[in-house]
Amino acid sequence: MKVIVIGCGTFGLNVAIEMDRGGHEVSVVDIKYKSFEMLPDSFHGKRINGDALAHDVLDRAHVDLVDAVILTTTDDILNLTLSRMFQDKFHKSNIIALNTKPQYRMFYDNMNIQTVSMVSWGILRIEELLTNKLEQSPYSLGTIEVGVYNVVVPKSDMKFLSDDLLKVKQCIIFAYTHNDKTMSLSEGITVESGDVLHVSTNTEGLRNLYMSLGMKTKEGMK
C-alpha cells in the first residue's frame, strides 16, 4: 500500500516507522526538516520537507498514486482542512486523522473521516480500570484506538445468547472462557455471569458491548 503520513511528530514518526516495517511505501511530510532526524537509518520511505497544503509538496509525494492518507498533526483545524483538500482536490476516501480535541470529533464524523483519539481512548481506559469492568488489557496497539480485552460478564439473572453478542457493532469476540476453559464463541451458545469474553474492539465497540451486557458506563448507558 502507498501511504502519505502528514506530520513527523511523536505520533506521525511512529506511524511512519511501523508502516514502513510492514512493507508499505511511505512518504512522510513535515514542514520542519529537523523532524526527520528521529527517523531511523533503516527507514525506506521518502522524507518530504514542506507545507502539506502546497500542491507541489504533495506532487513530490506522488499524491495521485497513494492509497491512504494519515494525518497526524496535533492541530485539528489543520487536519480537517487537509481532509477536505484530499477529498475534494485529490478524490481520496481512505483518510485517517488524529483527533486531538474531542469537541472537533463531530466535524470529522460529518466528513466521514476515520479518526484515532488518545484522549477519548484514555478516558475510557481510566473509567474501565477504576470500575474494574475489564481485566488488564493483554495487548493494545500503542496509541491507536484499538485493543484486545478480557471482558468479564457481570453478575445478572440474565443469560446472554452468543447470537446477539456476535452482532455487536465494531466489536469482534474471538473467544470466551467458561469454567477455566477457553473456546471459540459461535452461534447457539449461552454466555453466563462470570464468563470472560475475549474481544478486539475500539472505544465505540466497547460501549456497544457494555450496552448488550447491561453494564453501566459513566455516561449512564445500560
Mean pLDDT of the chain: 85
More confident of the two residues 137 and 85: 85
For range 68-93, the mean pLDDT: 95
Residues 6+ apart with CB under 8 A from 66: 2, 3, 4, 27, 92
pLDDT of residue 137: 53
Q: How far apart are CA 151 and CA 155, in angstroms?
A: 12
**Boundaries of every domain in the chain:** 2-117, 127-212
> Of 22, 160, 152, 4, which Cα lies nearest the Cα of 85?
4
Q: What CATH number labels 2-117?
A: 3.40.50.720
* pTM assigned to the model: 0.61
Q: How is residue 218 annotated by DSSP?
A: T
Amino acid at 195: D
Banded model confidence at residue 81, pLDDT cuts 50, 70, 90 = very high
Banded model confidence at residue 116, pLDDT cuts 50, 70, 90 = confident
Residue with cell 480535541: 101
3-class DSSP state of 168? coil
For range 103-120, the mean pLDDT: 87
pLDDT of residue 172: 85
Is the pLDDT score of 3 beyond 60? yes
pLDDT of residue 61: 93
Assigned superfamily of 127-212: Regulator of K+ conductance, C-terminal domain (3.30.70.1450)
Q: How far apart are CA 120 and CA 118, in angstroms?
A: 6
pLDDT digits (tens, 9 = 90+) for 161-211: 999 999 998 888 888 899 888 888 888 999 988 899 988 887 778 888 988
β-bridge pairing 147-152 and 139-140: antiparallel
Quick one: cell of 68? 491512504
For range 20-46, the mean pLDDT: 95
Residues 6+ apart with CB under 8 A from 163: 187, 188
Residue with cell 440474565: 158
Q: How far apart are CA 47 and CA 35, in angstroms?
A: 10
> What strand order describes the sheet that includes 139-140?
139-140, 147-152, 196-201, 171-178, 181-183
